[in-house]
Amino acid sequence: KVGGSQSKDVDQILTSMINDATGSKLGYIPFKSGGEAAVQLAGGEHIAANVNNPSENLGQWQAGMVKPLCVFKSEKLKGGEGKMAGDMGWSDIPTCMEAGIAIENYSMPRTVWLPAGVDQEVVDYYAGVLKKVSETPEWAKYLADSSQSAAYMSGNDLSSFIKNDETAVTAVLKREGWLAN
């Protein structure tokens, strides 16, 4: 059984993708948060794996209670100074493709939304502020420490990304029978 946060969301979608790529039939148990899924995995009683964000399992990894198997990216993680746990750092975790699971990439963007109908100058203002933040040393340190990817997008780039992501996720939702129509 694989644990994650929420039902029919990213973690369960990733579990479905693993099943599809490997022919396995892993069950999924939703918890209230990634932190709860991390604790349940470290305790070893309710789940055998989770699909958390890397930083959500960092404490348990550093304590030697869990180990990372692969990342859902086309290339290894970057960031972190030196080793994060024992003799391993973020960049030592193989990609899923390297680990023999045919999932090349799955991105989960963090997106800032504004209310519909706001003036373009408001959109431009916030896009500018967020772009500036994304270029600061503090932001770079946060990304490195938490193994997050740097990919600032706005406007047409973001719209295109969302459309492509929606297409990929909808295929999983249809395959699993999770859509109402």
In the chain, domain spans: 1-106
Residue 53 is predicted with a pLDDT of: 86
Phi/psi at 161 (nearest 5 deg)? -60, -45
181 residues of the chain, pLDDT tens digit each: 999 998 999 999 999 999 999 999 999 999 999 889 999 999 878 899 999 888 888 899 999 999 999 999 998 887 666 788 888 888 899 999 999 999 988 888 788 999 999 999 999 999 999 999 999 999 988 888 888 888 889 889 989 999 988 988 999 999 999 998 6
Residue 1 is predicted with a pLDDT of: 94
Other C-beta atoms within 10 Å of 38: how many? 25
- How many CA atoms lie within 13 Å of 1's alpha carbon, on the beta-carbon side? 13
Contact 49, 31 (CB under 8 A): no
Residue 149 is predicted with a pLDDT of: 80
CATH of domain 1-106: 3.40.190.10
Provide the CA 28 distance to its chain's centre, in angstroms.
17
Tokens of 10: 């990213």
Place of tokens 């055998």: 48
Query: Tell me, what DSSP letter sits at residue 90?
Result: G
- pTM of the shown model: 0.84
Q: Which long-range contacts (CB under 8 A, 24 or more apart) does 110-113 make?
A: 111/158
Residue 79 is predicted with a pLDDT of: 67
Provide the CA 165 distance to its chain's centre, in angstroms.
13
